[in-house]
Structure 1
Amino acid sequence: MSNAARADLLGPLLKSVSRSFYLTLNVLPGAMRDPVGLAYLLARAADTIADTSLIEPARRLSLLLALRAAVGGDRSEETAAAIRSIAGEVAATQALPDEKRLLETLDAALALLDELEPADRDAVRDIVATLTTGMEFDLQTFPSEDSGAVAALTDMAELDRYTYLVAGCVGEFWTKMTCAHVPGTFAEPAETVIARGVRFGKALQLTNILRDCAKDLRIGRCYLPEPLLTRHGLTVESMMAPDGSLRARPVLVELMATALAHYRAAADYTFSIPRLSVRLRLACLWPILIGLKTLRLLAANEAWLDPAHISKVSRNDVYRLVAGSTAVVCFDSVLRRWIERMMREIEATLGTTVIA
């Protein structure tokens, strides 16, 4: 692959489809950027395939599995034909030009994957395989978006497994990339740090699930386990009623408590990074701060299940968090007080105390 093509793939295209995550990618140590950025592009392409409601679910699943096979090294004509179908059939349905271009450049992304060092290539293949397993779960578990039906997860264990498949595994991948490319970063045993990294990812995914619950319900997906709803006298249908936000408040409180406990592990993960490893620290701090800000908005949102009132952190707030954390990134005591203050504010709004 030419240097220009590589630069475009991991530069303008990556920036255009990764939104706020690009801030994190951009501050990573140089050796980590290519494998992490490429993993993001491939996972984002897979997610776009899985979410393209104009294509019926069985076809989406077939193309998703073909992309997983291609990332895994399958270069058969059947898989190549499926990749061409993604670049044509699926790309043609995209309303956003950047999403369309991402799908049209899958061949280039796969070529770049082949050029990675073997250890990085294997790590990218593993993370994409796990992430696409989560997407496969979505397509096989929930009804078609236009069916009018809604399904919920079966229990808390299924929710925990799902948050691992679609985000916790990213914390694991991130930690392994750090250990490979910035050796000596963590003084603690690898298994301890990886476990915290997994909880880091789960914290972010639980935040996304709660933030997007209103929209997900209306396309047939309830990631809140049915036994949890039943315990609080709810059904998936009742959550979409006008008083759904109020009635489902205890569910929000319970799952936010779980998320906050995970964020405490994420903070421990971040503080285990040496203070002078500024780039790695910032890459972890920003999603924590944005995630906690999102939970703060959710805690105060009396209409959290109304799709017209989604709790989303504004761009200006993101910039303020980025600027503020950059200024104090090396000062553990200041950062700890900041994070603890945010957590206390959430707990106060919820009327709870979180146990890690």
Structure 2
Amino acid sequence: MKVQVASFCRTQLPRVSRTFALNIPLLPEPLDLAVTVAYLLCRIADTLEDEAPGALHGALLDELGGLVSLEPGWEARARSFARRARLALRDEAPPAEAELVSETPTVLETLASLPSWVHPPIARCVRTMAGGMNQIQRMHGGSGQVMGLPDLQATFMYCYYVAGVVGEMLTGLFVASSPRVAWREERLMSRAPAFGRALQLTNILKDVREDLDRGSCWLPRDRMAAHGLTPATLALPSLRANAVALLDELVAVARRELDVALEYSLALPVEEPGLRLFCLYPLFFAAATLDVVEGNPAVFEPEPVKIPRETVAMLMQLTQERVGSDEALRALHASVSRGSRDGAEAWS
């Protein structure tokens, strides 16, 4: 394996994801690098969706979906793609994400250097994600702006395309890398989409104001209408109580998805603590985030709502201490979900 290209991927990861920079290093080699590369490729797709005009990013997403197959001649096509994709980004695109798009050939070169069992799950994931993003955009005229999805089923479909497929990909990689996991494949795969959907739905609720400011909204329009809201009125101070009630309803939906995500994580063998921790860290972060979001009108203000770093550190410590006990992990999940606003000390 070429050390230089792998080094770029490892270095770039914490620049584009605080959460996954914490849990990916817990995975055994070469699974850690495989998941790093997979995450970066998905982040490239996400950056194109968020930061390139709709008329441009549709074709670019299709091209990225083709590149991950690493068919002969991919190197030249990847260099051409990276130049055009970088030029397509808005000037306001985050610098680290713009750099990542420019280095698409480096990420693909790292993918090519990994064992062959890594390639099929990652290629399928990126192709499905890119195709799904394009499908969502076509439903909205390809403008690059999505101001609400028709209903909760459509929101779930979006969450599947951008995150549920990641749960399936991770399962494929886990199964291929560990005989201990392989015999649990059916149990894991049936829960894998919910694992990804839960994390994505949490992000949608947490980032609702940021998305609105960028001209997007991924909440179901029928549920907004039931609360007397539209995407255009969602952040109005005069309708704040309605908006909080809407989010509380969707927080309950996200919590049900997190319950399934917990079962997914506990289906991983205790003999693979790195795999368990990889899944449990973001799960507990999401549970704590939902408790911050619930009943909180500040979610609709410009300043992002986040869980404190001390909470993140404590959750990591408590999860590490309990990683081998399903009973203790279930108790921690119930405790975190009951209300992180009561203080992290309540979880110890």
- Which residue pairs with 1:37 in the alignment? 36
Cα distance in 2 for residues equivalent to 1:304 and 1:8:
37
Distance 1:228 1:324, change over 3 A: same
| CA displacement at 1:186 relative to structure 2 | 6.2
In structure 2, what is the Cα distance between the partners aligned to 1:109 and 1:29? 20
| Structure 1 partner of 2:173 | 177
Q: Which residue of 2 aligns with 1:274?
A: 269
State how far apart, in whole Å, the 2-side matches of 1:22 and 1:8 are. 14
Does the aligned pair in 1 maintain the 2:6–2:33 contact within 8 Å?
no
Q: Does 1:220 align with 2:215?
A: yes
In the superposition, the TM-score normalised over structure 1's length comes to 0.86
1:163 and 1:206 in contact (8 A); partners too: yes
Deviates more, 1:32-41 or 1:216-225: 216-225
From 35, 60, 78, the equivalent of 1:63 is 60
Between 1:203-212 and 1:233-242, the stretch displaced more is 233-242
Q: Does 1:195 align with 2:190?
A: yes
Q: How many residues align?
A: 339
Whole-angstrom CA distance in 2 between matches of 1:265 and 1:154: 24
User: For the residues of structure 1 that align with 2:33 and 2:90, how far apart are their CA atoms?
Assistant: 28
**Is the Cα–Cα contact under 8 Å of residues 10 and 33 in structure 2 kept in the other structure?**
no
| 1:104 pairs with 2:102 | yes
Q: Deviations over 1:154-175 (max 9, x none)?
A: 1222111111111111111111
Structure 1 residue 35 displacement after superposition: 1.9
Whether 2:282 is the aligned partner of 1:287: answer yes
Shift of 1:137: 4.1
The amino acid that maps onto 1:128 is V
Using the TM superposition, give the Cα deviation of residue 92 of structure 1 relative to its aligned residue in structure 2, in angstroms: 9.0
Tell me whether 238-247 or 18-27 shows the greater mean CA deviation: 238-247
| Contact map agreement 2:78 2:105 (CA 8 A) in 1 | no
Normalising to structure 2: TM-score of the pair? 0.87
Task: Go from structure 1 to structure 2 and tell me whether the alpha carbon gap of 1:345 and 1:99 turns closer, same or farther (over 3 Å shift).
Answer: closer
In 2, the alpha carbon distance for the partners of 1:217 and 1:123 equals 33
Counterpart position of 1:305: 300
- Residue in structure 2 matched with residue 262 of structure 1 by the alignment: 257
Q: CA deviation at 1:242?
A: 0.7
SS in 2 for 1:312: coil
Shift of residue 286 of structure 1?
Answer: 0.3
Contact 1:244 1:305 in 2 (8 A): no
2:127 paired residue among 126, 129, 133: 129
Alignment counterpart, residue 339 of structure 1, candidates 333, 341, 348:
333
Question: Secondary structure of 2:299's partner?
Answer: coil
CA deviations over 1:209-233 (Å, ceiling 9, x no partner) = 1111122223332211111122222
Matched, 1:323 2:307: no
Change (3 A) 1:115 1:186: closer
Report if aligned partners of 1:299, 1:346 keep a CA contact under 8 Å in 2. Answer: no
Compute the displacement of 1:339 (Å).
Answer: 0.7
Between 1:324-333 and 1:95-104, the stretch displaced more is 95-104
Q: 1:347 to 1:197 in 2, by over 3 A?
A: farther
The letter of the residue matching 2:264 is Y
Would you say the 8 A contact 1:156–1:225 is kept in 2? yes
Give, in whole Å, the separation in 2 of the partners of 1:311 and 1:19. Answer: 15
Aligned-residue RMSD, C-alpha: 2.7
Gapped regions of structure 1 (runs ≥ 5): 349-356
SS in 2 for 1:159: helix
Question: For 1:134-149, what aligned pairs fall within 5 Å after superposition?
Answer: 134-137=132-135, 139-140=137-138, 141=140
Distance in 1 of aligned mates of 2:341 and 2:189: 27
Output the CA distance in 2 between the equivalents of 1:110 and 1:331: 38
Distance (Å, rounded) in 1 between the aligned partners of 2:6 and 2:79: 24
- Which has the larger displacement, 259-268 or 89-98? 89-98
Moved more, 90-99 or 238-247: 90-99
Q: Identity over aligned residues, as a percent?
A: 31
Deviations 1:115-137 (Å, cap 9, x if unpaired)?
Answer: 33333212111111122234324
Tell me how far apart the structure 2 counterparts of residues 67 and 135 of structure 1 sit (CA, whole Å): 12
Amino acid at match of 2:10: G
Task: Specify the SS of the correspondent of 2:127.
Answer: helix
- Alpha-carbon spacing, 1:25–1:94, altered in 2? closer, same or farther (3 Å): farther
Measured after TM superposition, the shift of residue 179 of structure 1 is: 0.8
**Cα gap change, 1:261/1:291 in structure 2, threshold over 3 Å: closer, same or farther?**
same
Shift in CA distance, 278/150, structure 1 to aligned 2, threshold 3 Å: closer
Give a deviation string over 1:225-271, Cα, whole Å, max 9, x none: 11112222222222121133311233212211111111111111122
Which stretch of the first structure deviates more once superposed, 90-99 or 193-202?
90-99
Q: In structure 2, which of residues 126, 134, 149 is the aligned counterpart of residue 153 of structure 1?
A: 149
What SS does the corresponding residue of 1:42 show, helix, strand or coil? helix
Which has the higher mean CA deviation after the structures are superposed, 219-228 or 130-139? 130-139
Moved over 4 A (4+): 76-80, 94-97, 142-145
Aligned partner of 1:35: which letter? A
Unaligned runs of 5+ residues in structure 2 are: 343-348
d(CA) in 1 for partners of 2:98 and 2:190?
36
- The whole-number CA distance in structure 2 between the counterparts of 1:303 and 1:244 is 13
